[in-house]
Structure 1
Amino acid sequence: MKAYIFPGQGAQFTGMGLDLYENSPLAQGLFEQANQILGFPITDIMFEGTAEQLKETKVTQPAIFLHSVILAKTLGANFKPEMVAGHSLGEFSALVANGVLSFEDGLKLVSKRAMAMQKACEAQESTMAAVLGLEDVVVEEICENIDGVVVAANYNCPGQLVISGETSAIDKACEVLKGKGAKRALKLPVGGAFHSPLMEPAREELAAAINNTTFNEPICPVYQNVVAKAVDNADEIKENLIAQLTAPVRWTQTIQQMIADGGTEFIEVGPGKVLQGLMRKIDRNVAASGVVV
């Protein structure tokens, strides 16, 4: 089965989407529509902005979503997903790709999510850290025994887990993790503690927006971050999407389940090659590629 996977925050780069805009009238129209929906010219920042400007959460999340979704739409009749998944933010791209959300509604929700997350980040000093070279269970146990809020947030691939929480708790956890043999326990340049309990205010804000949005039945199953299995019911998809902000991204488990369910060819749709790299670490025997523009 053919699976399409969509990247999350961190995949952005200066000039992203410009080739699509210049070579496809369909893409051009969708980018212009996006500028109208967002109320600011995001294409200017995507095509010509600095890395610093692209790092702003209110820009990053819609930019990656737009690149992914518009790229998928330019594939036309060649785009026939049998299963889809997205890493964190990428789940919104996956839901537009499998017909659950319209382009416009998906973009509005992503913009709302970005703003709500930004606000939650500013309310409390928090961060995330990448931990390499330890078993998941060891990292989870250490997090449980640290004072303050620190949790496992992104299960990216075997031996690579991102933790999230209060800055002081993350600092302490990194010390302990290194002492337990982690190859690296390094703080990430992110705005705050994504996929942790500290995102609760953002979850509540996003829940209201999601509950006021029409979700259609999907054309193929979406494998959601929170449950790491196929979901094809619109109400369940909503619930999992809301829970995603404070729950971990179970990416390793998601990909393993997709393979177990018959996924044989994985195609990354969007900027960068992060997910292709993770695929090789999760299962080297499965084909992983990107879309050639």
Structure 2
Amino acid sequence: MKAYVFPGQGAQFTGMGKDLYEQSPLAKELFEKANEILGFRITDIMFEGTAEELKETKVTQPAVFLHSVILAKTLGADFFEPQMVAGHSLGEFSALVANGALSFEDGLRLVSKRALAMQKACEITPSTMAAVLGLEDSIVEDVCASINGVVVAANYNCPGQLVISGETSAVEKACEAMKAAGAKRALLLPVGGAFHSPMMEPAREELAAAIEATTFSTPICPVYQNVTASAVSDPEEIKENLIIQLTAPVRWTQSVQQMIKDGASIFTEVGPGKVLIGLVGKIDREVAVASA
């Protein structure tokens, strides 16, 4: 079975999408429509902007979403035949447009709203994330629970690679404790705040209202959502999981393992970069991977 996976924030690069825009009339039309919806020319930043400009959350999230979704649409029905989809964090929105649960326009509006709400939440309390390498998930969880302050497991990326998230001071303390517990590395990430942690509660509330007001359709194939790591097709359940996603961990390892159990034999990454197929390869070395 064919599984398509969609990357999240961090996969962006300068010049992303420019080839698509220049070579495909459909891509050009969708990029221009995106400029109208967003109210600024995101294409100028994507194609010609600096890495610094592209790193702003309000730009990064729509940019990665647009690259993924427009690439999927330009592949056409002959080459894009998903039997299951999943997205990492922000990538879940791309996956939901690609499998027909959300329209392109509604998906972009929600992603823009999500980015702005997260940016605002980041400004309330000093917060950050850190990558922990070489420890069992259960040890990372136990260390986080032992720290005084808000710090939680946020991204289960692959065995031996887990990202933690929370208040800056608590994350720093947790990093020291992770090293003492035997982690190969525990390093702070250059991010604007504590995504997928309780620190995102104000953003979750803001996004919830927008998601509730948006029409979701029954998708053409199941989405394996970050929150449940299981196949979901019911539009109401999809909405509920999307709302929870901002303050809950991304269960990527578990999602990929479940997709393989359910018959996925090839994983194709749709969007900028090759981060996800790298993670899939570490989760299961036997499975085939490809880039769209």
Give the TM-score of the pair, scaled to structure 1: 0.99
Aligned to 2:98: 97
After TM superposition, list the pairs within 5 Å mapping 1:27-42 onto structure 2.
Answer: 27-42=27-42
Structure 2 letter corresponding to 1:66: L
Aligned to 2:68: 68
Secondary structure of 1:227's aligned partner: coil
TM-aligned CA deviation for residue 242 of structure 1: 0.2
Aligned to 2:125: 124
Aligned sequence identity (%): 79
Aligned to 1:139: 140
Aligned to 1:224: 225
Structure 2 letter corresponding to 1:82: Q
Secondary structure of 1:123's aligned partner: coil
TM-aligned CA deviation for residue 79 of structure 1: 1.1
How many angstroms apart in 1 are the aligned matches of 2:184 and 2:2?
35
Aligned to 2:25: 25
Unaligned runs of 5+ in 2: none
Aligned to 2:291: 290
How many angstroms apart in 1 are the aligned matches of 2:289 and 2:160?
20
How many angstroms apart in 2 are the aligned matches of 1:210 and 1:28?
27
Structure 1 letter corresponding to 2:291: G
TM-aligned CA deviation for residue 34 of structure 1: 0.2
How many angstroms apart in 1 are the aligned matches of 2:175 and 2:10?
21
Secondary structure of 2:149's aligned partner: coil
Aligned to 1:111: 112
CA RMSD between the two structures = 0.3
Secondary structure of 1:193's aligned partner: coil
TM-aligned CA deviation for residue 66 of structure 1: 0.0
Unaligned runs of 5+ in 1: none
Deviation readout 1:96-117 (Å, 9 max, x if unpaired): 0000000000000000000000
How many angstroms apart in 1 are the aligned matches of 2:80 and 2:289?
16
Aligned to 1:281: 282
Aligned to 1:10: 10
After TM superposition, list the pairs within 5 Å mapping 1:172-187 onto structure 2.
Answer: 172-187=173-188
Number of residue pairs matched? 291
Deviation readout 1:118-149 (Å, 9 max, x if unpaired): 00000110000000000000000000010000
How many angstroms apart in 2 are the aligned matches of 1:211 and 1:233?
14
Deviation readout 1:164-201 (Å, 9 max, x if unpaired): 00000001000010011100000000000000001000
Aligned to 1:270: 271
TM-aligned CA deviation for residue 278 of structure 1: 0.3
Secondary structure of 2:147's aligned partner: coil
After TM superposition, list the pairs within 5 Å mapping 1:38-49 onto structure 2.
Answer: 38-49=38-49
Structure 2 letter corresponding to 1:58: K
How many angstroms apart in 1 are the aligned matches of 2:25 and 2:224?
31
TM-aligned CA deviation for residue 284 of structure 1: 0.7
Structure 2 letter corresponding to 1:44: D
Secondary structure of 1:9's aligned partner: coil
Secondary structure of 2:229's aligned partner: coil
How many angstroms apart in 2 are the aligned matches of 1:196 and 1:140?
13
